[in-house]
Structure 1
């Protein structure tokens, strides 16, 4: 959905499918890439996600892409092995560009609730998170934890997911969000 927005803004975008352990995750990202008109770079199932990220950076650079979005496996902050994999991706891409990643967005599920606080805290340490995206705000979850996250961590909230369609990722507007949260 982010790729579609960047492409609509005139940017050349590539996506790297970094969840190399779940074939379904790669397939899902390929479907979204096709919908957005954006190439999705993949590696064989079980491949090293950090190697894919590095190779994707090389290809994006060679092809003159404006943006490379590296999608990683969903992970729980209490799984040390998965968190180390994320840290490895950051270390490896910094070999190619010491300023990378230029932005690291943590995508949170609105149904997570207060657990999001510990998620952000852990991911900040491992991956230098620079902003947040909150999904699934089209259901019963209202995402009130975003208020606590903004207060505690001061991270910008870039977008909110309000549905399943490709254009159902809306820029975050704090006033609209406050009205929706309070029913005003």
Structure 2
């Protein structure tokens, strides 16, 4: 549940797909007039029905709908599941990890680590490099790899942030990039060099 303002809240439903939590449903509902402003954003507190006896002037506005931040909700939920944020009983978190953890991360991701294994990240970098001469977009490469664009961008940025970098940053106005010598060496070490052309 996400509070939009003192009187409105959104309940967002996410499911794990392709290694990410993706939103599949958003319900925006009017909260009771006496709903505490400091109440926790607990889905259990989300009202089953909207109370139409005390509706603010204008009702649900476009501005209110636009204020729903799906990405912020996803990060918050992932943090709860992986244990990086929030307060949650240990047995509840353990059950969430059991159900969703492997689908989300393959294994629990540590700080600065991509949410998939380094070999998959380096293969993604190689695919972007090989697609550069054909001017392939990140969307096209992501579709070919069977991943979504946000994950691909995260993978490329992770590779660029390593010391030494594993993937180059393209010049201004250019797209793509290339594996660095260190990136190619690690790719070969991990058994992914056979995919190079």
Q: TM-score range by the shorter chain?
A: under 0.3
**TM value normalised by structure 2:** 0.23
**TM value normalised by structure 1:** 0.24
Q: Which has more radius of gyration? A: 2
More helix by share: 1
Q: Which has the higher contact order (CA 8 A, sep 6+)?
A: 1
